[in-house]
Amino acid sequence: MARIETDLLVIGAGSGGLSVAAGAVQMGASVVLLEGGEMGGDCLNYGCVPSKSLIAAAKAAHGQAYAAPFGIANVTPQIDYAAAMGHVHDVIAQIAPHDSQERFERLGVRVIRAWGRFVNEREVEAGDTRIRARRIVIATGSSPFVPPIPGLDTVPYLTNETLWTLRERPGHLIVVGGGPIGMEMAQAHRRLGSEVTVLEGARALGRDDPEAAALVLERLRAEGVRTEEGTRVAEVRGAEGAIEVLDEDGRSFTGTHLLLAVGRKANTDALNLAAAGIETTRTGVKVDSRLRTTNRRVYAIGDAAGGMQFTHLAGYHAGIVIRQALFGLPATARIDHIPRATYTDPELAQVGPTEAEARKAHGPKLEVARFDYSGNDRALAERKPEGFVKVMVVKGRPVGATIVGHQAGEQIALWALAVANGLKMQALANMVAPYPTISEVSKRAAGAYFSPRLFDSALVRRVVGTVQRWLP
* 354-366 pLDDT, tens digit each: 999 999 999 999 9
216 three-state secondary structure: helix
pLDDT of 119 higher than 90: yes
| Cα torsion angle, 175, 181, 183, 186, sign | negative
Q: What is the pLDDT of residues 275-288, one digit of tens each?
A: 999 999 999 999 99
Got the DSSP string for 82-103?
HHHHHHHHHHHHHHGGGG-HHH
Return the closest-CA partner of residue 267 out of 147, 142, 366, 178: 142
Cα 460 to chain centroid distance, Å, stands at 44
> Does 303 count as an annotated binding residue?
yes
Give the pLDDT score at 395: 96
Q: Distance (Å, rounded) from C-alpha 406 to C-alpha 379?
A: 8
> Does 180 count as an annotated binding residue?
yes
> Does 179 count as an annotated binding residue?
yes
> Does 235 count as an annotated binding residue?
no
Residue 336: φ, ψ to 5°: -65, -20
CATH class for the region spanning 163-262: alpha beta
> Does 265 count as an annotated binding residue?
no
> Does 102 count as an annotated binding residue?
no
Give the pLDDT score at 463: 65
Express as a percent the part of the chain with pLDDT over 70.
97
pTM for the whole structure:
0.95
> Does 382 count as an annotated binding residue?
no
> Does 177 count as an annotated binding residue?
yes
pLDDT of 464 higher than 70: no
Mean pLDDT of 206-213: 97
Topology, domain 339-455: Enolase-like; domain 1 (3.30.390)
> Does 280 count as an annotated binding residue?
no
> Does 184 count as an annotated binding residue?
yes
Mean pLDDT of 40-68: 97
> Does 200 count as an annotated binding residue?
yes
Give the pLDDT score at 265: 96
The whole-chain average pLDDT of the chain stands at: 96
> Does 140 count as an annotated binding residue?
yes
Got the DSSP string for 392-440?
EEETTEEEEEEEEETTHHHHHHHHHHHHHHT--HHHHHH----SS-TTH
Return the closest-CA partner of residue 200 out of 165, 162, 170, 226: 226
> Does 71 count as an annotated binding residue?
no
Per CATH, the architecture of 2-39+100-144+265-327 is what? 3-Layer(bba) Sandwich (3.50)
pLDDT of 461 higher than 80: no
Task: Tell me what percent of the chain is helix, strand and coil, each rounded to the nearest 5.
Answer: 40, 25, 35
> Does 41 count as an annotated binding residue?
no
Give the pLDDT score at 467: 72
347: left (phi over 0), alpha (psi -120 to 50) or beta: beta
Q: Distance (Å, rounded) from C-alpha 165 to C-alpha 198?
A: 21
Mean pLDDT of 227-255: 95
Q: Distance (Å, rounded) from C-alpha 226 to C-alpha 3?
A: 56
> Does 183 count as an annotated binding residue?
yes
Cα 68 to chain centroid distance, Å, stands at 33
The domain spans of the chain are 2-39+100-144+265-327, 163-262, 339-455
Asked whether the domain spanning 339-455 has the same topology as the one spanning 2-39+100-144+265-327, the reply is: no
